[in-house]
């Protein structure tokens, strides 16, 4: 709506200018009336009316900004319009109006160009689905699909909602969701993410989530959220606004005083119109947000980029953030010479193969399929363990008190399952959370990017936390923390080590993501609690790759560098033109045209934020 309003202003100004030209040159308009030596022809009255209306519109916006505590440079635009009206330079006034409204329209265009990657997700949103009813295909709206419905996914079609394959095998392109460059083969029983694209074979899928709860739609919601928040760099714009306004007024006032001609003041005010300054930072920021999106990072607001660029402290959750939230076998320890490590793991995995517990499924997944044998007389004791017969042996797997009473003094600090065979304690298997392969490099690169403190905040046990932290290269470890204690740890960071960036993935991380100056959520498919974390975060990493934090920092630093250069360039060029106008060699009309040239330069520089940051900004070079 705001963009449409700007476009209509520009159209009205152009129409007014055209009518004015026709009135003056084609119809040879004469004065309707005069006051003293001032003449008021038809074309001047038409343009003056529009100029006054535009000035009033700007004053209302300025008043609104003042109420919110923002002091901008729009006041210079109002002074420029009023000055040209008072000195009777109607065509200079018209050029200022074209400059103001045209500059806003150009900004919208540049923003649209920089925002292509964000809009691409919206454009690809699945809208129609092929629902199967009694074997017949019925086209329905995606929003009308319900959990339990069966949908046919034809070759080349997008998966409309999250579901599970019930018939057929095909490969699916999930690159827009996960960043995987190679299509993934999906079989009956496998889950499908909405937004992924089917390969060459039609499959039937059972709907497991409604459209509003599905993966692709959640990404779209995040994109809409990022678009709904204005990407205005308020702090930087305000920092430059007041001194720029004061300098411009001084130059204009001195020009008037020296020349004794109010026209000279108006000529300086025309070139002092603040369009370039107003355009510079927003275009750069939106370009930076677009670059983030291309790297599978969705940023919800422009100010997040400034905070990321200046961040000094980075905090990480452990499980699902630095680690993959996937247990792997660490050690197999036998207590009976009758069994070697391979056989002990085989017996334990065979008994656990039908259990849905995360430890059981991790153990089975880590064991060679050829070593998993049939189990009979399977029995599960809630919260204790399972037992059954494997190859003629009665095997119990679970807690030590369940498997081998009397061995409770055994001190194992890691996550472990204990095993007994035919009533005799046989040993135990320890498991550890699998470290993300990119975690240690991510921490190392953050230090190269300027991080002064990196800490791990986790609710896990001290021994486990310290082991993971050591592997990741983190020395500041806070373990066994409740969510409230994580928040307090973030609040306790001293002022000279701020802003603080917190990265997490689960429901328990949501409060600390909100408490941090910048919260980054690991929002990829499969992360438990990712939705809650994403809603609380300022930025969301949409792929399962923690090194994207490095990318976010690099892009932010690059964007802010471009934004600052753009703003300072715009101010420098405008002040130079003001000083030239001070001498009286630039008529107001041509000053307004020069402003349009500066606008174009500013927009072009702002779009450079979409270019690739340097290796140093990415943390790939030694300091």
| CA distances (Å), origin 209, targets 84, 150, 247, 365, 529 | 62, 12, 60, 26, 16
Residue 504, strand partner residues = 521
**Tokens representing 555?**
């892009």
**Tokens representing 558?**
């690059």
**Tokens representing 65?**
């900004």
Please tell me the distance from the alpha carbon of residue 442 to that of residue 220, in angstroms, as a whole number: 28
Q: Is 283 exposed, middle or buried (0-12, 13-18, 19+ CB in 10 A)?
A: buried
Residue 518, strand partner residues = 501
Please tell me the distance from the alpha carbon of residue 321 to that of residue 219, in angstroms, as a whole number: 19
**Tokens representing 72?**
């901008």
**Tokens representing 164?**
């599970």
Closest-CA residue to 362 (of 430, 408, 427, 418): 430
SS3 state at 379: strand
Peptide bond into 499 cis (omega under 30): yes
Question: Distance between alpha carbon 131 and the CA centroid of its chain, in Å?
Answer: 34
Which residues are designated catalytic?
317
Closest-CA residue to 302 (of 218, 221, 226): 226
Please tell me the distance from the alpha carbon of residue 294 to that of residue 226, in angstroms, as a whole number: 14
CB 179 within 8 A of CB 543: yes
Please tell me the distance from the alpha carbon of residue 144 to that of residue 128, in angstroms, as a whole number: 9
**Cα torsion through 16, 21, 24, 29, rounded to 10:** -40
Residue 41, strand partner residues = 31
Please tell me the distance from the alpha carbon of residue 104 to that of residue 602, in angstroms, as a whole number: 12
Spatial neighbors of 20 by CB under 8 A, at least 6 apart, are 43, 44, 46, 47, 90, 94
For 406: left if phi > 0, alpha if psi spans -120 to 50, otherwise beta; the answer is left
């Amino acid at each position: 709506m705001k963009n449409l309003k700007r476009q209509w202003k520009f159209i009205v100004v152009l129409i007014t200018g055209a009518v004015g030209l026709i009135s003056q040159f084609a119809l040879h308009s004469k004065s309707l009336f005069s006051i003293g030596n001032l003449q008021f022809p038809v074309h001047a009255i038409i343009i003056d009316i529009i100029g006054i209306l535009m000035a009033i519109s700007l004053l209302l916006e300025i008043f609104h900004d003042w109420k919110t505590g923002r002091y901008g440079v729009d006041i210079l635009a109002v002074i420029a319009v009023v000055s040209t009206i008072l000195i009777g330079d109607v065509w200079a006034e018209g050029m200022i109006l074209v400059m103001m409204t045209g500059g806003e329209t150009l900004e919208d265009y540049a923003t649209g160009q920089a925002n292509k990657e964000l809009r691409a997700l919206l454009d690809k949103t699945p809208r129609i689905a092929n629902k199967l009813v009694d074997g017949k295909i019925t086209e329905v709206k995606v929003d009308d699909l319900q959990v339990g419905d069966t949908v046919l996914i034809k070759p080349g079609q997008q998966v409309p909602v999250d579901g599970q394959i019930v018939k057929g095998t095909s490969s699916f392109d999930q690159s827009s969701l996960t960043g995987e460059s190679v299509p993934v083969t999906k079989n009956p029983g496998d889950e499908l993410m909405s937004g992924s694209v089917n390969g060459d074979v039609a499959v039937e899928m059972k709907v497991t989530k409604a459209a509003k709860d599905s993966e692709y739609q959640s990404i779209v919601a995040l994109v809409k959220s990022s678009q709904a928040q204005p990407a205005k760099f308020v702090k930087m714009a305000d920092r430059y606004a007041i001194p720029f306004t004061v300098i411009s007024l001084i130059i204009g006032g001195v020009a008037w005083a020296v020349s004794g001609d109010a026209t000279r003041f108006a000529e300086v005010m025309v070139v002092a119109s603040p369009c370039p300054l107003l355009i510079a930072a927003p275009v750069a920021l939106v370009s930076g947000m677009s670059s983030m999106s291309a790297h599978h990072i969705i940023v919800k607001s422009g100010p997040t980029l400034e905070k990321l660029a200046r961040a000094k402290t980075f905090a990480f959750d452990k499980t699902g953030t630095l680690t993959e939230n996937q247990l792997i076998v660490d050690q197999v320890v036998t207590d009976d010479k009758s069994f070697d490590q391979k056989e002990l793991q085989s017996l334990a995995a065979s008994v656990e193969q039908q259990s849905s517990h995360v430890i059981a499924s991790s153990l089975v997944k880590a064991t060679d399929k050829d070593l998993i044998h049939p189990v009979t007389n399977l029995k599960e004791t809630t919260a204790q363990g399972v037992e059954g017969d494997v190859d003629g042996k009665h095997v119990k797997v679970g807690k030590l008190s369940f498997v081998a009473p009397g061995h409770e003094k055994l001190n194992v600090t890691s996550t472990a399952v204990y095993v007994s065979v035919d009533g005799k304690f046989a040993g135990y298997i320890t498991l550890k959370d699998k470290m993300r392969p990119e975690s240690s490099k991510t921490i190392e690169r953050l230090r190269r990017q300027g991080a002064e403190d990196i800490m791990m905040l986790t609710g896990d046990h001290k021994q486990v936390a310290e082991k993971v932290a050591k592997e990741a290269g983190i020395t500041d470890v806070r373990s066994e923390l409740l969510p409230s204690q994580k928040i307090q740890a973030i609040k306790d960071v001293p002022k000279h080590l701020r802003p603080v960036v917190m990265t997490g993935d689960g429901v328990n991380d949501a409060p600390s993501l909100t408490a941090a100056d910048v919260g980054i959520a690991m929002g990829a498919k499969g992360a438990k609690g990712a939705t809650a974390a994403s809603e609380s975060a300022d930025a969301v990493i949409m792929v399962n790759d923690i090194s994207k934090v490095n990318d976010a920092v690099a892009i932010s630093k690059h964007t802010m560098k471009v934004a600052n250069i753009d703003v300072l360039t715009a101010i420098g060029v405008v002040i130079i033109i003001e000083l030239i106008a001070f001498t009286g060699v630039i008529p107001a009309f041509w000053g307004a045209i020069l402003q349009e040239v500066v606008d174009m330069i500013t927009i072009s520089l702002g779009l450079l934020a979409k270019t690739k940051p340097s290796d140093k900004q990415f943390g790939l070079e030694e300091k």
